[in-house]
Structure 1
């Protein structure tokens, strides 16, 4: 009952905010953006949400050279922290105190433009946009569009990649771009990249094709199963390749049940160290979309396992990268059999093994 009352009050407050903003009207033209313009991008939630937002952020910096701030979540702020195109990253703290703190920051920094990078409606972000005193507020045309001063069409989520949907916001900045300019904007630290290369060279002194298999995902529903991973690895033993397993801390015991510990990349809470290892592989197998997006940075071919449960949205495919996948409409990956994976994955890896051999000739 209390939950229903809370939801009703939220809807009531949002309705009031929409009405009050509607009375103020909108601007008929887009703002002129210079190197002194201060732009605040807002992207809360998870790692993958942050990663798919980075192409727009990097493009805006490249095309306008404005000052860029990012309001992120405690679960994804590190995605933005080493980005040379971002001047400052602010971590959103939940609760009234955190909300007031952000409003003060916006006022003190004299933010010129605030941009909602969310493809769907966030109640928290809607409140923030509605009450913040910023002249220009950009967003996709959604049911909360009255809180923005400028909107662009939200592309159909069933037929357009999430990155392309976010990139629609570039129209409000008045620049164009080429498709091949687009890439995930994550910037690993040099020391972690060097360390990753050393770790892999020590594990695998001989130069061979390196297949990375990531077993972890954001939820247990996307863990494919110890025995299934073991079966796939057994099938791959006939190929002259190395296999390196990636896992997060919670799945480390499962990883040791799948493969000898010496073939597991060192597990760390440091996302940057994990990314640096993934970027060394020649091909990636993964059920996790954030890791798939990371691989796409270097155009590493990807084979993915996807859950598409009760949604018509396009799955979060790697961008500008060769891939294949299996998609289930069940809530977990449990119904995807080894035989199904074998039929699609084996031809996929063989194609890239052949391509790798051809480049050496």
Structure 2
């Protein structure tokens, strides 16, 4: 009888980074159909992987009580398991210090430093989901050629991933907008979102969903307030802060296109195979976090100080915020028209 192969994947945070591991999870199953896959992540991000059918056990880490968590997790990890450490920080180094079969994600610190501080673009531009899979190559894992996944509860028992099978013709009826982001320098200006919504409304008979978590509520409320102040009959529904990630994914499914900042919801939309218009400010696609495996375009300004960070900042270090200021609503609207025309012609 062939011995079962065990894998343990570690990625503690955050939403987008964990969604980007889904191609690796599925590729392991493609290579080792009988494999047992455990996944260690922070308990705050349980929803991202809770219903992924390729995962046998979701092991939750508690950053607030890391020493106790480490003792518990070490007991959870089988000695013979093949460990893929995609976090590769002091926490996981301490956790895995006595394990032998460990593949660690290369942090690419030099490449990021050269890009952020000296604007030197690497010859081989990274794609994070593929770098995750590359980390597992020592265990003979290869990419299966498909995109990301974010599974809903009702999909877990299916033998296929529904968004990958949804090949309907593109129709522009509802637009999802995710105007928030954890870091200030990754947020397009609120007034530009308002202007863009007005431009789309004036030409297309569509409705809008504002998407986001609790931290995005203020931004979304401001957008609705500014639109209502102009007394336009725009069909817009603010869903921010009212839903879980799983419900947000269902709302994304009901949209025909998503307009979003560089944030976790962007990667969930990619995983649900919804076309994306992504607005990049202080970050750039050359860092490897562009939408993966889905039709998309990126709106960005040619500013010499980009990128000033690989994750985002609380404020613009140059105090002009040109990376977002120079992305006008008119420019995004023109890109929107071109992109939707392309999608309709497919």
TM above 0.5: yes
Higher alpha-carbon Rg: 1
What are the within-5 Å matches in structure 2 for residues 158-177 of structure 1?
A: 159-177=125-143
Task: State the distance in 1 between where 2:83 and 2:154 align.
Answer: 32
Task: State the distance in 1 between where 2:208 and 2:133 align.
Answer: 36
Contact 2:8/2:82 (<8 A) preserved? yes
TM-score, with structure 1 as normaliser: 0.71
Tell me the equivalent position of 1:84. Answer: 53
What are the within-5 Å matches in structure 2 for residues 1-361 of structure 1?
A: 36-65=4-33, 66-94=35-63, 95-106=66-77, 109-118=78-87, 121-131=88-98, 134-141=99-106, 159-178=125-144, 181-190=145-154, 208-240=172-204, 241-259=206-224, 263-267=236-240, 268-308=242-282, 314-321=287-294, 322-326=296-300, 328-329=306-307, 331=313, 332=315, 334-336=321-323, 340-355=327-342, 357-358=344-345
Task: State the distance in 1 between where 2:32 and 2:275 align.
Answer: 32
Contact 1:113/1:137 (<8 A) preserved? yes
Contact 1:326/1:341 (<8 A) preserved? no
Contact 1:39/1:115 (<8 A) preserved? yes
Paired positions, count: 291
Query: Partner of 2:147: helix, strand, or coil?
Result: coil
- Quick one: structure 1 residues 356 and 113, their matched pair in 2 at CA, closer, same or farther if it must change by over 3 Å? closer
**Per-residue deviation, 1:312:** 9.8
Provide, for residues 191-244 of structure 1, a one-character-per-residue CA deviation record: whole Å limited to 9, x for no partner. 9xxxxxxxxxxxxxxx85322111121234433333222122122222223222
TM-score, with structure 2 as normaliser: 0.73
Contact 2:196/2:329 (<8 A) preserved? yes
Contact 1:157/1:314 (<8 A) preserved? no
Structure 1 range deviating more: 225-234 or 325-334: 325-334
Task: State the distance in 2 between where 1:345 and 1:49 align.
Answer: 26
Task: State the distance in 1 between where 2:190 and 2:108 align.
Answer: 43
RMSD after superposition? 3.1
Tell me the equivalent position of 1:25. Answer: none
Contact 1:279/1:294 (<8 A) preserved? no
**Per-residue deviation, 1:264:** 2.1
- Quick one: structure 1 residues 243 and 103, their matched pair in 2 at CA, closer, same or farther if it must change by over 3 Å? same
**Per-residue deviation, 1:277:** 0.7
Task: State the distance in 2 between where 1:40 and 1:101 align.
Answer: 15
Tell me the equivalent position of 1:28. Answer: none
- Quick one: structure 1 residues 185 and 336, their matched pair in 2 at CA, closer, same or farther if it must change by over 3 Å? same
Contact 1:289/1:317 (<8 A) preserved? no
**Per-residue deviation, 1:110:** 4.5
Higher RCO (CA-CA < 8 Å; seq separation 6+): 2
Contact 1:68/1:88 (<8 A) preserved? yes
- Quick one: structure 1 residues 307 and 111, their matched pair in 2 at CA, closer, same or farther if it must change by over 3 Å? farther
Provide, for residues 92-144 of structure 1, a one-character-per-residue CA deviation record: whole Å limited to 9, x for no partner. 123211111111222xx4452111123xx41111111213xx34112245699
- Quick one: structure 1 residues 211 and 336, their matched pair in 2 at CA, closer, same or farther if it must change by over 3 Å? farther
Contact 2:83/2:101 (<8 A) preserved? yes
**Per-residue deviation, 1:355:** 4.1
